[in-house]
A and B are shown apart, each in its own frame.
Chain A
Amino acid sequence: MANERTDLLQGTLELLILNTLARGPMHGYGIVQRIHEAAEDLLKVEDGSLYPALYRMEARGWIKSEYGVSENNRRARFYKLTRKGQTKLEAERANWNRVSKAVTRILQAT
């Protein structure tokens, strides 16, 4: 099946990452897998684009990272949500709902 590349709305990947990390600390691979599972293959984040987003979010203080041991006993960097990240997640969720509602209304009106 052919796939189509689409650009996400700005900040969507951050929202998906924050939402995923709200479940608990995870390494980068775990985050992508969780997003893919939750989206049931309707949406796939490019794995390579995850890390710049994670590093940017860490610099902004939304998440923090520390080394831990992965399921295959390898040292891995685990990310977790900070208090600031939790607040950002709530704000972004509300914003997403507002935007999607507005776009749906416009599409239905035309």
Chain B
Amino acid sequence: MKTILAKLFGNPYRKQIVFEIEDELHFHIEMLERKYVQDGMSAAAAKAAALRRFGSLEKAMKQCVDIRSRNSLRRRVLKASLIILGLIGLSIRILSTERNLDHMGDLLIMIAIAGRLLLYVRGLSPSTFLSGTDETCPSIVTPRDNSKLRGA
């Protein structure tokens, strides 16, 4: 049942999105490792330092996948199509004089609203409601020793 639902409502491009993001984040970590090795660290120490500096890979990955999925071209096209469908339905409802056509307009409006709601619900992520995951307010690290600041 779960598999059927996943096939029906799942995003077929999600795997590709995940792969691309994973590749990008791993590239960053590889570059950090390279830099630390050049600075004289052993391979193991460089890997550990790179992962430490990067922060939570899992959290970054999840946030990126959420953002990408929400803003994918497919999703935007779907949203636009639903709006157009709703507008066509509304136009039919306003302009038609026949009862059958009225029903057709109602049906189109309902499909558009239901589709939009489904997209909205699918786009919701628990991370949206969790405190401490404010994406627009990331952390910075400043040295506790303020001598540099005073010198500046």
A residues near B (Cβ < 8 Å) are 1-11, 13-14, 27-29, 32, 40-53, 55-56, 58-59, 70, 72, 74-77
Contacts and interface: CB of A to CB of B under 8 A. Distances in A.
Contacts of A8: 137-140
30 contacts: A1-B143, A2-B144, A2-B145, A3-B143, A5-B139, A5-B141, A7-B139, A8-B137, A8-B140, A10-B136, A11-B136, A13-B138, A14-B136, A43-B141, A46-B138, A46-B139, A47-B28, A48-B25, A48-B59, A48-B60, A49-B138, A49-B139, A50-B138, A51-B64, A52-B64, A52-B67, A53-B135, A58-B71, A76-B27, A77-B24
A72 B55 contact: no
Nearest to B146: A42
Interface of B: 20-21, 23-25, 27-28, 30-32, 34, 53-57, 59-60, 63-64, 67-68, 70-71, 135-145, 148-149, 152
B17 to A, nearest CB: 10
A6 B149 CA distance: 15
Contacts, number: 122
Nearest to A43: B140
B27 A40 contact: no
A48 B143 contact: no
Contact of B137 (A7, A41, A45, A76): A7
